[in-house]
């Protein structure tokens, strides 16, 4: 028996040793895979295949390792804006690129300013006398804005183009909450801070309607002007004013209607489009899906890294909803960004800081935490200049952070402002009463057991929260007043929680200059008295997990067919979106946080942090604004 026990121990020891050896070998190979930089293969010539399946964002989310390990993939692919722009800018001047194949099948959009920036980069390629040949089955607003800058626009004969324009509906839960006895205790500062209206009303207030209509009209006018300049032959007025008449004139054929109104140049399937690209780029020498000599976007980006100079400018990325504590890429965690700023300040000698904001706001506390960290870093470097670059969104808490800048650069279509604060606490006294449940107790102070969500908030607590909300709003006004050299009365007048397009915000003095990130860096270099051509960009942002990226690369199927929809799908809302909106807004009511500087009127479909439609944090009034 002892001999058997001894043999068993030896076998167990061998087994444990083999398991340990296997684990060490596995992690060694994993480490090698994560640390070895791939050598991008770039043909000597060909077309840059700009396949924009998915969305364009400022900062992509981190892939979910559990989803990838289970064999799934990200529901929506996310492309980093600055990577696409850099790829196009280098393509315009590099002789290896003979054309750009703009593949918009499966393109789901992005923010207006991001789309406009990519469109400008496409125009650079076209101005360099290189063909840009676009293709899609169905063109919506965002896809068509990009395509309008192409030299040729192809559409599937079963496809077409439909212009929806900004607008749409929002759900209102006031009557529903009343029916079930739920009280939405709302405290707000700002006449136009309509974010909490869905919990108290059954329709849009006149103030909210006025602000939303003005914003939508401004954004649509910017879109129309851009498309008209890029493609003057397109009969936009006809197809916008009466799309039904235009389509009926083509016997209901959307593709033919698009051709007759000069919205597109050619009708053809993907094979015909690929053959056209092959005419200028050559046929593919290897078997692939494209059918033409193509250069993959990822390879081209890897082969063209950003060159660095001797003068460092730190670029702090604040992308997504601003939340307290730590958060992954795509969400602006107050503690995460603060730590990144502190670490970068210790490691580098910066000549200036550029704050890249693409956020609808969120936690007022986290916004202030980030603001103070930026100011502390600038002071530690010797009071270096701070310039703000606004992306798609720099609203509410996003604008709070923007007050650090001595100069603010934004795009005309940037959504900004929303200078206001609101608080929200639900209570369920009516619900419990309907079930025959009552609450009672004792107290030692006016705040004992408060806020009482079972019995209802006391008048004392209501006064307390309203006073606190107004105090945070006054702090907001003071920050903007000092930053923009305005009186607090003037800031209050143009604040009040109202949302503005960048074009209007500049007229109001909330923005100094129109431009993109490059323009903001140039402005920072000028203020730091350094040569803009000698700048080294140091991005201060959270990097995605190497392990998650490794799994994403393993799971990526470059041969997979793009999921496309016919243009009629543009007019058919996804029922899941309505359910997701209802769930998200009720979740906001229940989960908080209580006090926020957040622009809930801003379109959430362009805010990072949404992995798929079911997980959408908020589908807002303008859920169709970037369709």
Out of 363, 396, 402, 423, pick the active-site residue.
Answer: 396
Give yes or no for a cis peptide into 2 (omega within 30° of 0). no
Q: Residue 64 contacts by C-beta under 8 Å, 6 or more apart in sequence?
A: 74, 548, 611
Whole-number Å distance between alpha carbons of 504 and 519? 19
- In sequence order, what DSSP letters do the residues of 536-575 get, joined into one string? EEEEESPPPPHHHHHHHHHH--TTSPPP---GGGGGS--H
Active-site residue identified among 113, 130, 148, 193: 193
> Could you tell me how far CA 141 lies from the centroid of its own chain?
17
Residue 303 φ then ψ, to 5°: -80, -10
- Ranges of beta strands (E only) in 450-600 are 499-501, 513-514, 535-540, 595-598
If one counts every other C-beta atom within 10 angstroms of the C-beta of residue 138, the result is 26
396 is catalytic: yes
Q: Torsions phi, psi of 31, nearest 5?
A: -60, -40
Going by C-alpha positions, the residue among 585, 555, 594 that lies closest to residue 363 is 594
CA dist 134 and 146 (Å) reads 9
Q: For tokens 């606190």, what's the residue?
A: 468
* Stated length of the chain: 627
DSSP 224-270: HHHHHHH-TTS-HHHHHH-HHHHHHTTTT-HHHHHHHTTS-SEE--H
Q: Where are the alpha helices (DSSP H) in 40-80?
A: 65-69
Close Cβ partners of 56 (under 8 Å, ≥ 6 residues apart) = 78, 79, 80, 81, 84, 109, 110, 111, 114, 115, 118
For residues 187 and 195, give the distance between their C-alpha atoms in angstroms, rounded to a whole number. Answer: 11
Q: What share of the chain is helix, strand, coil (3-state, %, to 5)?
A: 45, 20, 35
361 bridge partner residues: 598
Mapping DSSP to helix (H, G, I), strand (E, B) and coil, where does residue 147 land? Answer: helix
Rounded CA-CA distance 263/613 in Å is 30
User: 392: which 2 tokens?
Assistant: 């798609």
Catalytic residue positions, numbered: 193, 396
């Amino acid at each position: 028996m002892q001999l058997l026990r001894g043999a068993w121990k030896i076998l167990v020891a061998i087994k444990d040793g083999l398991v340990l050896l296997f684990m060490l070998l596995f992690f060694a190979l994993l480490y090698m895979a994560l640390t070895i930089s791939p050598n991008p293969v770039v043909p000597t010539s060909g077309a840059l295949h700009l396949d924009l399946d998915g969305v364009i964002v400022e900062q992509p989310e981190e892939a979910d390792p559990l989803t990838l390990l289970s064999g799934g993939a990200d529901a929506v692919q996310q492309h980093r804006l600055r990577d696409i722009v850099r790829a196009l800018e280098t393509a315009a001047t590099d002789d290896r690129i003979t054309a750009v194949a703009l593949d918009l099948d499966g393109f789901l959009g992005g923010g207006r300013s991001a789309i406009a920036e990519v469109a400008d980069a496409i125009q650079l390629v076209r101005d360099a006398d290189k063909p840009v040949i676009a293709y899609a089955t169905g063109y919506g607003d965002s896809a068509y804005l990009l395509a309008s800058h192409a030299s040729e626009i192809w559409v599937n004969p079963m496809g077409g183009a439909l212009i929806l324009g900004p607008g749409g509906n929002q759900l209102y839960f006031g009557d529903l909450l009343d029916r079930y006895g739920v009280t939405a205790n709302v405290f707000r500062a700002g006449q136009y801070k309509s974010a909490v209206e869905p919990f108290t009303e059954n329709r849009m207030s006149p103030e909210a309607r006025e602000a939303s209509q003005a914003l939508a009209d401004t954004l649509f006018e910017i879109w129309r002007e851009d498309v008209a300049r890029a493609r003057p032959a397109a009969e936009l007025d006809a197809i916008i004013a009466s799309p039904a008449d235009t389509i009926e004139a083509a016997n209901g054929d959307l593709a033919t209607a698009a051709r007759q109104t000069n919205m597109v140049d050619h009708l053809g399937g993907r094979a015909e489009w690929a053959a056209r690209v092959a005419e200028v780029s050559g046929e593919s020498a290897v078997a692939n899906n494209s059918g033409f000599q193509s250069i993959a976007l990822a390879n081209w980006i890897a082969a063209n890294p950003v060159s660095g100079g001797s003068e460092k400018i730190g670029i702090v990325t604040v992308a997504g909803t601003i939340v307290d504590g730590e958060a992954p890429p795509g969400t602006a965690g107050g503690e995460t960004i603060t730590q990144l700023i502190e670490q970068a300040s210790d490691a580098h000698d910066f000549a200036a800081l550029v704050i890249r904001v693409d956020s609808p706001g969120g936690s007022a506390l986290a916004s202030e935490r980030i603001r103070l960290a930026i100011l502390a870093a600038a002071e530690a470097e010797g009071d270096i200049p701070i310039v703000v670059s606004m992306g798609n969104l720099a609203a509410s808490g996003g604008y709070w952070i923007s007050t650090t800048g001595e100069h603010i650069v934004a795009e005309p279509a940037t959504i900004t402002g929303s200078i206001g604060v609101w608080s929200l606490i639900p209570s369920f006294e009516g619900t419990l009463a309907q079930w025959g449940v009552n609450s009672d107790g004792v107290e030692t102070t006016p705040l004992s057991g408060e806020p009482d969500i079972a019995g209802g908030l006391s008048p004392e607590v209501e006064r307390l929260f309203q006073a606190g909300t107004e105090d945070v709003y006054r702090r907001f006004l003071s920050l903007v007043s000092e930053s923009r050299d305005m009186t607090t009365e003037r800031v209050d007048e143009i604040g009040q929680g109202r949302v503005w397009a960048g074009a209007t915000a500049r007229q109001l003095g909330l923005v100094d200059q129109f431009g993109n990130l490059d323009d903001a860096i140039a402005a920072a270099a000028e203020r730091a008295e350094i040569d803009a051509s000698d700048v080294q960009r140091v991005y201060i942002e959270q990097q995605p997990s190497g392990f998650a990226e490794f799994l994403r690369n393993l799971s990526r199927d470059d041969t997979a067919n793009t999921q496309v929809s016919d243009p009629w799908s543009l007019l058919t809302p996804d029922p899941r979106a309505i359910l997701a909106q209802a769930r998200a807004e009720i979740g906001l009511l229940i989960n908080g946080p209580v006090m926020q500087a957040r622009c809930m009127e801003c379109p959430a479909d362009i805010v990072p942090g949404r992995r798929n439609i079911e997980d959408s944090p908020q589908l807002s009034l303008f859920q169709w604004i970037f369709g």
